Amino acid sequence: MVPHLTTALTGPLLELERQVIEAQGDIEHWLRRQWLAHPAPFYSSVDLRNAGFKLAPVDTNLFPGGFNNLNPDFLPLAVQAAQVAVEKMCADARSFLIIPENHTRNLYYLQNVAALVDIITKTGLSVRIGSLIPDLAEPLVLDLPDGGRLTLEPVRREGNRLKLDGFDPCSILLNNDLTSGAPAILQGLDPAQTMLPPLHAGWATRSKSKHFSAYDGVAHDFSGLIGIDPWLINPYHALCGEVNFQAREGEECLADHVAAMLEKIRVKYREHGIDRDPFVIVKADAGTYGMGIMTVKSPDDVRDLNRKQRNKMGVVKEGLSVTQVLVQEGVPTFESLNAAVAEPVVYMIDHFVIGGFYRVHTGRRVDENLNAPGMHFVPLAFDQSGSFCDCGARPDAPMNRFYTYGVLARLAALAAAVELEKTDPEGEQS
């Protein structure tokens, strides 16, 4: 079951897909060299938007949830990719500590943690789960919807190593995005106790604008490689600093950016013969979980916020207040399944695409964000891994469409790798 593109504008995307499929050899060769220069994060997931005329990553998650939504047929692919990642990190590794988010009531999230534990365990590593829940004194056993169980154990610090009772892990896999910053217990650890991804991948350090700046470079080089307009794979973005929604500060700056970007999109729409009204997405430059996200079709939309909207935009996860705001070109979603909007999410371990799923949502419009609080979606696992194409088939054959998704997702993961190099507090600043 593969969602359909329900737009009359399939022409340009078919053309983009054709160019990707035809350049497969050049693309894989180019990516092999890129990964040598910029090692991929341990894992990542990338949200894509397929507008028919345009296909672009809109969010790159370095602490991916949703591993439970992947097609179980591709589990061997995930395990093998994790084996490669573990070998690169440390062939001598025996034990992994996974640090999840602190939500103990979100069963879907816990099922994701269980899926991660399963993948890493199947590589032959010993895996336990360490929790940052503040008052956790005893192991906490949680029952999962599928009948399985997770045991969260309190982490403790011994010298410069992080441990559980009777467990001194070689590596620590973060599945916690550290929105409120890296807690002291995770700082200054023994470098031999590898932290994956590094602490500065947390949302307290990361920003979407830095990610998309890195993606600008990647998209530029890739577009040159296959000979396309970079705009076809790269949404415009701009950063608006010093916004305080509650105090109504910075609104004019934001309105100006929105107006300028809507105009730039209109120019591109005319150039490519696209008869649509542009829109932009306004979101917090740091943070995740789809809080503080707004669809804007006119500069007036950000001038006339009511109190409720201001409150919604003003805080993101764990109560951080928004000051930097990203204005991003809206890429409408034209994939649908039985009239429901479907948005692809692609998963990677190291630089390998290991599958993905669609977020299928019936109650939303094509220009709304599906990864929003309270959002209920039905996951639909990809029925192809997306790791290779079939040159003999049509560019929009499912295997080829998923391959194109996999290529775009790898570009976003590559941008994340470049971003992490640039923001590495111990690395050279470029």
Nearer to a second copy, 68 or 288 (CB): 68
Nearer to a second copy, 24 or 298 (CB): 24
Among 7, 45, 336, 385, binds a second copy (CB under 8 A): 385
Shortest separation between residue 193's beta carbon and a second copy, angstroms: 17
Q: Which residues between 85 and 104 bind a second copy (CB under 8 A)?
A: 86-87, 91-94
Among 1, 11, 72, 124, binds a second copy (CB under 8 A): 124
Residue 357 burial (CB < 10 Å; 0-12/13-18/19+)?
buried
Nearer to a second copy, 343 or 350 (CB): 350
27/225 Cα distance (integer angstroms): 8
* 137 binds a second copy per the rule CB under 8 A: no
Count of residues in contact with a second copy, rule CB under 8 A: 36
116/15 Cα distance (integer angstroms): 37
- The residue written with tokens 């692919």 in the block is 77
In contact, 343 and 333? CB cutoff 8 Å: yes
Which of 232, 327, 236, 242 shows the shortest CA–CA distance to 272?
A: 232
* 126 binds a second copy per the rule CB under 8 A: yes
Shortest separation between residue 400's beta carbon and a second copy, angstroms: 12
Shortest separation between residue 93's beta carbon and a second copy, angstroms: 8
Determine phi and psi for 186, rounding to 5 degrees.
Answer: -95, -5
Among 45, 60, 111, 123, binds a second copy (CB under 8 A): 123
Q: Mark 358-377 with x for binding to a second copy (rule: CB under 8 A) and - for no binding.
A: --------------------
Shortest separation between residue 418's beta carbon and a second copy, angstroms: 17
* 80 binds a second copy per the rule CB under 8 A: yes
Nearer to a second copy, 68 or 336 (CB): 68
The count of residues in the chain is 430
Q: Mark 387-406 with x for binding to a second copy (rule: CB under 8 A) and - for no binding.
A: xxx-x---------------
Bridge-based pairing of strands 171-175 and 95-100 is parallel
User: What angle in degrees, to the nearest 10, is found between the helix axes of 10-22 and 24-37?
Assistant: 70
Q: Which residues between 300 and 359 bind a second copy (CB under 8 A)?
A: 352
Nearer to a second copy, 73 or 252 (CB): 73
215/59 Cα distance (integer angstroms): 11
Which of 270, 251, 267, 323 shows the shortest CA–CA distance to 292?
A: 323
Most distant CA pair in the chain, distance: 64
Bridge-based pairing of strands 352-361 and 4-5 is unpaired
* 84 binds a second copy per the rule CB under 8 A: yes
Shortest separation between residue 83's beta carbon and a second copy, angstroms: 7
Which of 175, 79, 77, 64 shows the shortest CA–CA distance to 121?
A: 79
Return the structure tokens found at 119.
Answer: 């993948």
- The amino acid sitting at 62 is L
152/168 Cα distance (integer angstroms): 15
Shortest separation between residue 391's beta carbon and a second copy, angstroms: 8
Q: Which stretch binds a second copy (CB under 8 A): 69-77, 206-214, 270-278, 289-297?
A: 69-77
* 143 binds a second copy per the rule CB under 8 A: no
Nearer to a second copy, 369 or 387 (CB): 387
Q: Where are the alpha helices (DSSP H) in 272-332?
A: 300-303, 307-314
Output the CA torsion sign for 102, 108, 114, 115: negative
* 167 binds a second copy per the rule CB under 8 A: no
The C-alpha angle 216, 218, 221, rounded to 5 degrees, equals 105
Q: Mark 27-56 with x for binding to a second copy (rule: CB under 8 A) and - for no binding.
A: xxx--xx-xx--------------------
85/414 Cα distance (integer angstroms): 15
* 194 binds a second copy per the rule CB under 8 A: no
Nearer to a second copy, 327 or 408 (CB): 408
> Which residues are CB-neighbours of 247 under 8 A, at least 6 positions away?
none
Among 16, 79, 326, 337, binds a second copy (CB under 8 A): 79
Binding site for a second copy (CB under 8 A): 24-25, 27-29, 32-33, 35-36, 73-74, 76-77, 79-81, 83-84, 86-87, 91-94, 121-126, 352, 385, 387-389, 391
